[in-house]
Structure 1
Amino acid sequence: MKKVSKNTFKGGKHIHDFKELTGSKPVNFGFVPKTVTIPLSQHSGAEATCLVKKNDLVKVGQKIGQASAFISANVHSSVSGKVKSIDDIMTATGVKCKGITIENDGLDEIGYEQKNLTIDQVSATDIIEAIKEAGIVGLGGAGFPTHVKLTAREGQITDYIIINCAECEPYLTSDQLMMELYPEKVVMGLLLAMKAMNAPKGVLGIEDNKPLAIKKLQQASKDYPNIVVSVVKTKYPQGDQKRLIQATTGIVVPSGSSTSAVGVRVINANTAIAINDAVLHGKPLYEKLVTMTGHALKDPQNVMVRVGSKVSDIVEFIGGYKEEPGKIISGGPMMGETQFTPDVTTGKAIGGLLFMTQEESKPKAVSPCIRCGKCVDICPVYLQPLYLQLYVLKNKVEQAQNLHLMDCIECGSCSYICPSARPLVEAIRLGKLEVRSKKKDSK
């Protein structure tokens, strides 16, 4: 019998998520870009080293960027065609790096070895190597190289692998639709990760607002007694890995500790699918389902996008704007990053693009703190955001550190709930940046 729980964590809030804009629409697989500009930095860590030059011919899935450090990731071509240029670009996450522009010849010639393996035919080492070669990174937004996450330190024991199926960020539904389409791949990706880490237990942690995905994951995992489908309450930020660990296993990750320190690894649902495709079929990570959403679009929907596609090209493909957007956000409204141009290119880890109307984008008037305590009540990390902001703005960052400034997960719940529209999370980010800068300078 599969466990069905309704556990959660302290704090947080269920907010209007607007997932109805795209969640019930079919996935659009028809988008084919004429050109792509593929960033060599789409991940945490060092930029990949370019392996091609101008006028080279490349194929789909061909490696064009080599991981340059332990924490780095390979980069692959998402189309077949000719390399037109290699330039300095700015990514959607604000990172400056080299970008490889390729003109699509429309032939989709495959440039990787296609396989058809089973889990019994691969060892733990095979799994890690295949993940590394495929350039798989965390697809929940952080982009941390997955082969690094699944490499245990000597003597380190992993009890649980958790697949993060929560997708708690408002507006975004790409994870939900991929789970509905490919539940068997999600489960197999979990099994492969468990084998790689020698982990005895697997968990699929999913919010209760995804009934079809829940049903399909339960069906796909029914023959594996060591895998549990844990249905948790729909509440933001349930998808934060430490909150999900607490809700699904009861394990509380101590302040300052990593999830690996308590024997848990957390992987996004789309990452699990990518693991399945890479290890068993040899497919590199060169495309991603992206939620194109928001009230400024004529027809919000989920589109399968080749890495390096220009945002403006995707918008044109789905019918354009209903009105000129007041703000474009890569990701969701709570943790996403505002874009300065629709001509930015997509990377591996992008989950969605939010196009807000002019009215929705108007800034709220900031007023003094009224000490209502709502930011304290909503904080999932038991922090006091009003005091953290106060100390940071008064250049008293050490006092903010004493109140566990660095534990903030920057979920934005405090700023969302504040009746005075105080920029709480923005100030906290500045404080954390100052702490990291001082630490770097002291080395």
Structure 2
Amino acid sequence: MNFLTFKGGIHPPEFKEATEHLAIEKAIDPSVVAIPLQQHIGAPCEAIVKAGDRVLVGQKIGEAKGFVSSPVHSSVSGEVKSISMMPSVTGGEVLSVVIESDGQNEVDPSVKPKGKLENLKPAEIIEIIKEAGIVGMGGATFPTHVKLSPPPEKKIDTIILNGAECEPYLTADHRLMLEKPEDVVFGLIALMKAVGVEKGYIGIENNKPDAIETMKKAASSYSNIEVVALYTKYPQGAEKQLIYACTKREVPSGGLPMDVGVIVNNVGTAAQVATAIKTGMPLVERITTVSGNGVKTPKNLLIKIGVSINSIIEQCGGYVGEPGKILMGGPMMGLAQPSDEVVTTKGSSGILVFTGEEAEVPEASACIRCGKCVDICPAFLQPLHISNYSFNNMMESAEKYRALDCIECGSCSFICPAKIPLLQSIRVAKRYIIAKKRKQA
């Protein structure tokens, strides 16, 4: 069997064996949640509740204040204790609604089924997705309703679901496809109807043969849905690389998937769309893989949004010794957390705990000009040159070398024998260039 793929990429150790065969468990209900008013790319929400209010599960507590934004909802029923600044998963602090649970999990009356999919119009589906606060659940957290609303001149003919889950350790999407394949397919059909397209793909890496077979069976009655077996390689799940693997279309430099007629969503996002239509429940919980040598009992947990990392680790038996590093997300693109008091968000696909020895950062040495970073770059860049320009504050030159095309997968840093922090320096250049463009605009 031929497996589809893209040029470049790397093969990091998978480390999925600890959780890939573990069924999803429902996490213990938290006593307190702190729900950030910004869990998405775009404008933060505005709180529409105040301290002392009683809120219910699924009740909207943050209103989106812009097109590229997404509302947030309460994941528990209980009393709002405060609206205050709390540690953010992306660094710094974020305004959050702190709710003390009453343990009753009383559901808001607004949460009810939206009717049969065949009776819903495309605009109604997009509005349901918007009001449910659904964002990219693979970690990018881009508001889904925005993806489904391309400019009129962009003709979309294909939707691809990302089931690659190419990050090491993470198995949340794998378990979702095994345990709720019908929801993934239902969500894909809904997304296709919302945009008016006839062709859908579900891309899954070939290290998940059970998921490939399960999804093929679930989609067997739909001739316009193709389950695609992908070669296991990182970053197979990146949008542009996934599009090329499935369709052989190349997104142009500086372009977006819609420029080649494609919209990409995560399988978790599709399943959440199914939940929003079938039950009316907005995005208030998600599946998260908890793993790493620094946690006693790795698990795949269904957790409520706004639960602290330390609360989740307790449910996994606690730490193994003193944690050296805690990551939210995968080891390649995840973010190191300054404290285990940081809470989970809509994009928390994984919580990884590493021991002190594993967390040690190797000392960089001089570049040996091996060219490995160029060979494996899935965006066809020259990472070393962009990195050098960044280190020397030559940001205009970094831009000329297409720094903004970097997808920040971290492959270059992983492969570099000199252990040069290529990704980190390229990120600095990207942030500078983007900030300058915004200032000029």
TM-score over 0.5 for the pair: yes
Q: Distance in 2 between matches of 1:395 and 1:44?
A: 27
Listed as ranges, the matches of 1:334-349 within 5 Å are: 334-349=332-347
SS of the residue corresponding to residue 142 of structure 1 reads coil
Residue 59 (str. 1) matches residue 37 (str. 2): no
Shift of 1:365: 1.6
Report the RMSD for the aligned CA atoms in angstroms: 1.1
Code of the residue aligned with 1:208 in structure 2: it is: N
Code of the residue aligned with 2:106 in structure 1: it is: E
Residue 75 (str. 1) matches residue 65 (str. 2): no
Q: Distance in 2 between matches of 1:67 and 1:378?
A: 40
Q: Which residue of 2 aligns with 1:224?
A: 222
Code of the residue aligned with 2:16 in structure 1: it is: K
Which of 81-90 and 4-13 deviates more?
4-13
SS of the residue corresponding to residue 297 of structure 2 reads coil
Code of the residue aligned with 2:217 in structure 1: it is: Q
Shift of 1:5: 4.6
SS of the residue corresponding to residue 203 of structure 1 reads strand
Q: Which residue of 1 aligns with 2:10?
A: 13
Which of 241-250 and 86-95 deviates more?
86-95
Q: Distance in 2 between matches of 1:30 and 1:287?
A: 10
Q: In the alignment, which of 320, 331, 334 is matched to residue 333 of structure 1?
A: 331
Q: Distance in 2 between matches of 1:76 and 1:204?
A: 29
Q: Retained in 2: the 8 A contact 1:140–1:351?
A: yes
Code of the residue aligned with 2:41 in structure 1: it is: S
Q: Retained in 2: the 8 A contact 1:5–1:230?
A: no
Shift of 1:325: 1.0
Shift of 1:156: 2.5
Q: TM-score, normalised by structure 1?
A: 0.97
Q: Which residue of 1 aligns with 2:47?
A: 50
Q: TM-score, normalised by structure 2?
A: 0.98
Q: Which residue of 1 aligns with 2:23?
A: 26
Q: Distance in 1 between matches of 2:167 and 2:196?
A: 31
Listed as ranges, the matches of 1:373-388 within 5 Å are: 373-388=371-386
Q: In the alignment, which of 93, 108, 115 is matched to residue 96 of structure 1?
A: 93
Code of the residue aligned with 1:48 in structure 2: it is: C
Code of the residue aligned with 1:109 in structure 2: it is: E
Q: Which residue of 1 aligns with 2:276?
A: 278
Q: Distance in 2 between matches of 1:282 and 1:95?
A: 33
Code of the residue aligned with 1:192 in structure 2: it is: A
Q: Retained in 2: the 8 A contact 1:379–1:414?
A: yes
Shift of 1:116: 6.4
Aligned residues with identical type, % of pairs = 47
**Could you list the runs of 5+ residues in structure 2 that have no partner in the other structure?**
none
Listed as ranges, the matches of 1:9-408 within 5 Å are: 9-94=6-91, 96-111=93-108, 112-115=110-113, 117-408=115-406
Q: Retained in 2: the 8 A contact 1:159–1:263?
A: yes
Q: Distance in 2 between matches of 1:376 and 1:179?
A: 34
Residue 437 (str. 1) matches residue 429 (str. 2): no
**Could you list the runs of 5+ residues in structure 1 that have no partner in the other structure?**
none
Q: Retained in 1: the 8 A contact 2:283–2:346?
A: yes
Deviation string 1:334-357 (CA, Å, 9 cap, x unpaired) is: 101110000111111110011011
Q: Retained in 2: the 8 A contact 1:287–1:348?
A: yes
Q: Retained in 2: the 8 A contact 1:117–1:281?
A: no
Q: Retained in 2: the 8 A contact 1:43–1:144?
A: yes
SS of the residue corresponding to residue 359 of structure 1 reads coil
Shift of 1:409: 0.6
Code of the residue aligned with 2:225 in structure 1: it is: I
Aligned length: 440
